Copies of this chain bind each other. A is one copy, B any other.
């Protein structure tokens, strides 16, 4: 069996309380005793039982990182950047538990005792019950990526709508008028925000909308390919396509290339997210930078401060999205 503070206590001829205090660096203990006990603990390779600690201290040392789903709609890069950002902040002070919300049959195991804090990387309104559940139980909580309306909660989100506006505005500035959109996964909040940005830009510059130019997608590569294939059959076909994320843009480019057409000469493509891969595509993708790693890093830092200070703030913070111009758009305004 493993060694406990009582074992150490026996060998040191002190009570287990003294051992506990020595190992927790309590000022009550004589420095010499402290040193003796620590040496002993090291020799015996003592490791504390965190379950016992947790029980009495009412802290779990666990942080939850929850995604809407780990199955479809969560891109590899999104997951990667989120985990990396959070992990950079917490280092080895907490355990990071990763899970898809839709894997839960019941939220049974989600409570204050099991999680010191929770980060929800939210994409869909389907997360709402989960968020409310956690909020009701007063678990320190941060919701990232998706803007929340009803619940009072700390919320950090990229300005998707503005980003979409910017990139569509850019297409218009390059002379495009037949601008299609390949949309994200239905009932994802980001889908809606990006669609709104697209429409507002079109309206502001008085570019007519065409229903056929609006194609559904679900954020993955295949759906971008399929949607673009449909767009290519239209007459007249669009001169530019706004893909609601970079994965779908990649799928769209493939569909175009297979038809012996060239991006951007024949059709211009823009994406959204600015993946680590986006700058390396052929052609390099013009897109919108959404600082997910930064958001998750700052979200994690905020969460830790909530836990440590026991004060929670509740506000919505927007992170700027910015246009990244590369090589996937051509100017067709004819000289201007």
A284 to B100, CA, bound (A): 31
**Known contacts A79-B79, A103-B92; A280 and B108 CB within 8 A of each other:** no
Minimum CB–CB distance from A81 to chain B (whole Å) comes to: 8
Please determine whether B221 and A250 come into contact, CB atoms closer than 8 angstroms: no
Residue of B51, B103, B109 touching A87 (CB-CB under 8 A):
B103
**Known contacts A51-B60, A70-B83, A254-B282; A92 and B105 CB within 8 A of each other:** yes
A69 to B281, CA, bound (A): 26
Please determine whether A83 and B55 come into contact, CB atoms closer than 8 angstroms: no
A143 to B329, CA, bound (A): 46
Instruction: Please report the total number of A residues contacting B with Cβ < 8 Å.
Output: 51
Q: Which of A47-93 contact B (CB under 8 A)?
A: 47, 49-52, 54-55, 60, 62, 70-71, 76-77, 79-81, 83-84, 87, 91-92
Residues on B with beta carbons closer than 8 Å to the beta carbon of A254: 279-280, 282, 284
Residues on B with beta carbons closer than 8 Å to the beta carbon of A92: 99, 103-105, 109
Minimum CB–CB distance from A319 to chain B (whole Å) comes to: 20
- Copies of this chain held together in the complex: 2
Residues on B with beta carbons closer than 8 Å to the beta carbon of A55: 49, 51-52, 55
A150 at the interface (CB under 8 A from B): no
Instruction: Give the contact stretch, choosing among A24-32, A111-119, A157-165, A237-245.
Output: A111-119
Residues on B with beta carbons closer than 8 Å to the beta carbon of A281: 250, 281-282
Minimum CB–CB distance from A221 to chain B (whole Å) comes to: 5
Q: Which residue of B lies closest to A224 (CB)?
A: B280
Q: Which of A191-240 contact B (CB under 8 A)?
A: 221, 225
Q: Which residue of B lies closest to A53 (CB)?
A: B51
Q: Which residue of B lies closest to A76 (CB)?
A: B80
Minimum CB–CB distance from A243 to chain B (whole Å) comes to: 12
A98 at the interface (CB under 8 A from B): yes
A254 to B276, CA, bound (A): 13
Q: Which residue of B lies closest to A97 (CB)?
A: B95
Please determine whether B96 and A98 come into contact, CB atoms closer than 8 angstroms: yes
Residue of B2, B70, B80, B113 touching A111 (CB-CB under 8 A):
B2
Q: Which residue of B lies closest to A115 (CB)?
A: B95
Q: Which residue of B lies closest to A90 (CB)?
A: B103
In the complex, 6 of the A-B residue pairs with CB atoms within 8 angstroms, ordered by the A residue number, are: A2-B111, A51-B55, A71-B84, A79-B83, A92-B99, A96-B97
Q: Which chain A residues have a beta carbon within 8 Å of chain B's beta carbons?
A: 2, 47, 49-52, 54-55, 60, 62, 70-71, 76-77, 79-81, 83-84, 87, 91-92, 95-100, 103-105, 108-109, 111-114, 221, 225, 250-251, 253-254, 257, 276-277, 279-282, 284
